[in-house]
Amino acid sequence: MGSRARIKRIRQGKVPEHVAIIPDGNGRWAKSHGYERSRGHKRGSEVAEDLIEFVSNELSIKFMTFYTFSTENWSRPGREVSFLMTLLKEFLQKKQFKFMENNVKLRVIGDLSKLPKKTSGIVQRTVNKTTKNDGLQLVMALNYGGRQEILRATRKIIEGVKEGKTRLSNLSEEMFRSQMFAPDIPDPDLLIRTSGEERISNFLLWQMAYTELWFTDTLWPAFAPENLLDAISEYQSRERRYGQVKDKERNTPK
C-alpha cells in the first residue's frame, strides 16, 4: 500500500489523542556508523523535527510528549550533557518559526530551573510565543522524572493541608492529578520506545497506568514516519479494556 493510502486508512480508524515517545538509541546509532555519540543526538533531533512536521500536517494526534532529558541523564559525562543542552537551545531557536507556521504549541513538563540559563530562556520564550497556537501540542519532558513529579505533587498537597487550603479527606486521584506538571493533558494512549529497550525509565509513571506500550528495535535516528504509522496501526488493532470485560461477553457469565 502506498503511503498516502496508508495514512488515509489510519485516519479512518481511532487515532490516539496523545502519543508519548522515548526516543532512545542515539548513542548506539552513532557507534554503529563510527561516529561520536553527539552526532547521534544531532541526527535524533532532526528525526524529531521531521516527525513533528509529519504529525502536524497529516494526523489528528493532539498531544505528543517527547522524553527529551531525564532526571537521571545528568549523570552522563559533562560533555554530553552540555552538548544536549546546546542542541536543545539550537533546536528551539530554529524551530520556533516553524511552530508558528504549523500552529504547534510547545509545552514543558519537568524542572526547568536546573537547566543552563540560555537553554531554559529559549524554552520559556518558545512556550510563551506559541501559547495561543491550537494545533498539535508538543510536550517536552525536560529534566523530567516520574518519581520526581509524584514527590513534587505530594509535597504540594501536604503544604496545602498545612496551610489549611485543603483537607486530607479531599485527596482523590483527581486532586492528585491536579498537582502534576500538566494536569489538563490526557494520559498517553500510546507509548513508543525505540532501540529495543523495553522499559519505562521513569517516564510518566502516574499517567501511564493504562497506556498501550509499543516497542521497536529501530534506533531513534533511523525512525521514520512509516514507523509511527506501524505503531498506530497496531494500536488500532488492540482492545483497551481498563480492567473490564469485553462488551459482548458482558451478559454471559459462565
Our answer to whether residue 24 is catalytic in this structure is yes
Q: Is 70 in the site for ligand IPE (CB under 6 A)?
A: yes
Among 18, 20, 24, 223, binds Mg ion (CB under 5 A): 24
Kindly indicate which of the ranges 18-26, 44-52, 222-230, 245-253 contains the residues binding Mg ion, using the contact rule CB under 5 A: 18-26
Burial class, 17, CB count within 10 angstroms (exposed 0-12 / middle 13-18 / buried 19+): middle
Element spanning 223, H or E:
none
Give the one residue of 197, 212, 215, 225 binding ligand IPE; rule: CB under 6 A.
Answer: 197
When CB distances are held under 5 to 8 angstroms depending on the partner's kind, the choice from ligand IPE, Mg ion, none that residue 73 binds is: ligand IPE
Give yes or no for residue 221 binding ligand IPE (CB under 6 A). no
Owner of C-alpha cell 489528528: 60
If binding is defined by CB under 6 A, does position 27 make contact with ligand IPE? yes
What cell numbers appear for 122 in the block?
A: 529559549
Return the residue matching grid coordinates 489510519: 10
Among the listed residues 139, 27, 121, 20, the one whose alpha carbon sits nearest the alpha carbon of residue 73 = 27
The angle that helices 78-101 and 37-58 make with each other, rounded to 10 degrees, is 20
84 lies in the binding site for ligand IPE (CB under 6 A): yes
Bridge partners, 21 (sequence order): 66, 192
Least distance CB 139 / ligand IPE (angstroms)? 13
Interface residues toward Mg ion, by CB under 5 A: 24
Interface residues toward ligand IPE, by CB under 6 A: 22-28, 67-70, 73, 84, 195, 197, 199, 201
